[in-house]
Structure 1
Amino acid sequence: MIQRIQSIFLFLVAAIMVTVLFLPIWNKLDLDAQEKVTLNAFKMVYSSYDEAGEPTVMASVDTFWISALAVLAAGIALFSIFQYKARLRQMKLGALNSLIMGGCLGMTYYYSTKGDQMLNPNTVGNFEIGFYIIAAALLFNSLANRFIRKDEKLVRSADRIR
């Protein structure tokens, strides 16, 4: 029963978590000092710009935990789609996936605070689309869990009637 609504939500979770790998998550720009910090799923790059506008990388930090958690969440969502015969297992996988995506959000916040300390504290950093779509994936995952739970209640009520 791959055509169920929760399968669509789980597929959206997987697609969103894969797109997190390719989108920027956070950045901070200091126009006075001509410096910029950019965070994506793989690296946090601190760069400075010269008079010609050419960037020079001053420091780089690997943020592979964000990408590892995003890939793991996408894999669990795809695996959960095909567990439609074991709805209780699907609910457990959904709860695990929520924890992993929460960890992904936590890691992005951790690295953004680290990047915030690199530049002038008076300037404000901006969360980009990559951060917000992780929250959207969490929403889709909770909707999928809701519909899985609804199916399980329907099956249990039908068993009770028999």
Structure 2
Amino acid sequence: MKTLPRVHHRAQALVAAALMTGGMVLATGATAGVSHSAVPAELSPAEQQAIVAETNTVRQQADQQPLTWDAALAAEAQAWADDPASTAGGQLNHAPINNAAENMSGYAPGQATGQWAAEKSAYDADPNHDYVSNRAGYQKWGHYYNMIDSKYQKIGCGAKSGVPIPGGGWVVVCRYAS
């Protein structure tokens, strides 16, 4: 068995490191370099954990059971975040989904959960809690409600930066399901 020269092992290590961190690999000839993309392909494990922890803190305050991360929901959410239709017309557009709820934000992943949780005051002030998504009340507190809805046990999210929409230039998509 032929052993590879040392430079190839280093290139292999760089390629592996880039792929594990969501970077791009640029290779020319016998050398390879790592370039981290300005547009991440998905949420980091730390961001995933933070979203779950923050959501579960909100749920605990509402006397609801905690959610668990779901890779399939996350893949669907990431696919929608990457889809140009999610930000067509320079605005956030919900996906046509069934059997799940969806929250979207134009801010970075670290800000999205807090943005949705801040709707609690509007939820508390609304005595009707009309759960029809196109009604005025729901428009003010629907993201918060999705976070605390007792019928959901799973969450999965995706994100993309550099999106030409007002706000933070992000699209963050979280899906909630039973």
Q: TM-score, normalised by structure 2?
A: 0.24
